[in-house]
Chains A and B, each alone.
Chain A
Amino acid sequence: MSAAHNEPAHPGNAARLIELYYEQGWTDGLPVVPPSEESVGAMLAAAGLRGNDLIGEVFERHARLTADKVAVNAVLAGCRPAYMPVVVAAMRGLLHKDYHYHGAATSTGGSSVAVIVNGPIARELEINSGTNALGPGTRANATIGRAVRLTMMNALNTRAPKLDRSTLGNAGKYSLCFAENEAASPWEPLHVERGFKAGESTVTVFAAEGHIQIYNQLSADAETLCRTMADAMSQLGSMGIVGQPQTVVIFAGEHQEVFRKAGWSRARVRQCLYDHARRTIADAKRAGRLPGRLEPKDESTWRHAVARPEDILMVAAGGDAGAFSACLPGWGSGTLCRAVTTRIERP
């Protein structure tokens, strides 16, 4: 896409430019905010970057991502300049080799990018971690995730039906950004577990299938709640049964409280989820998810939804009322694509 337009902010011009961006195929289907040299410059300044600073590369696509491209798309998405360091950190994470951008972004699996923000910046930018954290209505959540997707589409050529081959896609591909509710969590924050200091701000990016909501209003028992969650993690139609990708589990308020009261540590919850999120080889073969003739031993041989307990990423988010949590099954396999946590850098 070309450089930002330098048009005066006249409402008629804005409407015309919005149509122009549609005509060029530079939107996600929703109207965009037409960029100007000034608004793009403000984005770059907020992240302490120059336009030609390299953010990362996608070898398979022979593509380089520079800061000006991220800035233009952050404006298009409706971001405030203060969000730009979060968007940049997310893009650095996506272009880290562990994420395997080309596979996750191109695949028929149609993954969304879950953008999970931790640390002081989440509160400063008022990124929603509470009621309706995964839903619409909060500018930071809506536009940070959208900026990531627009950058993927416009700067990294991730467009259907060419280099985005999502069979169905999912609604999270518009935006799936939320913060961890660190204050309410029974456990240490996600980024601390992943090696950062509590006072640092980070973004964790994760290639996710659509989220599966987990409902259990009756249980006040940690073990039974884990069994409910594990069932959602181990459905036969998920990619997990074969590829064992990582899984994010989002614990909302009432369920957080069950684990807090039970005194269960993060490690204990995760082990319990791992233990129960499994299917027999016989189940997988009967569903045609694994090849081969059914053998007697298949009835007692287990395949877990993730390869090891550490592949379950636990995050606290959502409202304090309602017995709902969720899991975000990962895309692909645990060896091909992994969540990446990146420090958010500000000038």
Chain B
Amino acid sequence: MPKPVLLWTDVLIYCLLVSSVLALFSALKKEHLRLPLRQVTGCPTAMAALVVLFFYLLVGLSDSFHFRLKLDERPGQQIQYAPEVLSLLDIFVGPLRTRVETTYSAPLAIEAYTKETVEDKTGRRSRVYPRLLYGGSHLKDPNLRLSDIYGKAVKGSAFGLVVVTFLATIGVFLLSRVHKTVWRITAGRVLRGQCHAAWRTTFITAGVLIIIFFALAPLATHYHLLGTDKVGQDVLYLSLKAVRTGLVIATLTTLIMLPFAVLLGISAGYFKGRIDDLIQYLYTTLSAVPGVLLIAAAVLMLQIYMDIHADDFSSIAQRADIRLFFLCVILGSTGWIGLCRLLRGETLKITELEYVQAARALGVSQWKIITRHVLPNVTHIILISAVLDCSGLVLSEAVLSYVGVGVDPSMISWGNMINSARLEMAHEPIIWWSLLAAFMMMFGLVLSANIFADGVRDALDPHLQRG
């Protein structure tokens, strides 16, 4: 039995997951919330984005179950555990983690990226591109590389197609059970895109993703799909591991930031007068302090704390994790100013509107006015700015890593990848794959989050509701 390790951020992720599932179920019970939800499922772009997000979530979640493996038992000894903290993801992608080259290699390469001096049996020295330890090591003849790659990709996609067909059949079968119709009719409806929910788009997006997965999987295990970095680690592995860091920074920080921004912004706009003065004073002061300085101070303080209480943080992973968590807290408690200001302005406008006055005339309590009349009319601002902030946060993590106060250097994150790419870009010949990988992964996450948030916002707007 491996020994589970509970990290701070893990706990928070579980809480977030459970509470969002509960919230979704309670929303399904209320009619005025069910309608927008139905509309989200009917919006093809939002559903496609949701599928992509789901893949990210899957990676991030499987990377959030941590444990330490048992070491080989020796008789008469206490059970020993490996010092390394692993996650489910590490197990899933197994070979990616362990197949470490000596240094840089290009994507899908079988030889190193730079020449090295090699001494052969006769003692003659020559400068050649040495073969990689793992990348394409199954190939005897280097000339077969391309055909092998194509062969594996085609075989993989064919297999993927079979899997997709199988899954789609199961999907349609389940749908027909839910709709209580013959599966033929359901299949026809899905194919023609006549369902209320955008099942066609969902199936196609998921299908494409699954086929890509199966096409790339054999390549990833036999080669380094996205190359390797300076110390020979597989870049694909790094980008997958970085998903969790990105998700944690984006969601936890937003979660910490939102209560500040919403509560303070709306109360400033609603109550006006002294309360408004106070809140404005607070955020003006806070925004006058350079953010990086504040974060650097907090992180250094944490560092000292950890050094003093070294016993509480037994493993590297725990130290890195607490630093990530603290970073989220500090980013969250300084990042609410922009949204707060926006909400204050919008609330000022809304409280002057006549429906708020009418509610006051009816004797509705302040709290109810805020939650029923003001909050629903500013949700679009909250949604959009929260999602846009997410991408900004992932980026600011990169910037902070550059300054040296970001996530722990041992933690794999897009920020650290981009940060190391700084030197790689200056390398001759240029090493582009780390940056590209980080960029593609971030791009996919931010874009799909944006599109999905757009769909949700449209669904919440009664003006755009269809029948």
- Pairing of A with B: no
A residues lining the B interface (CB < 8 Å): none
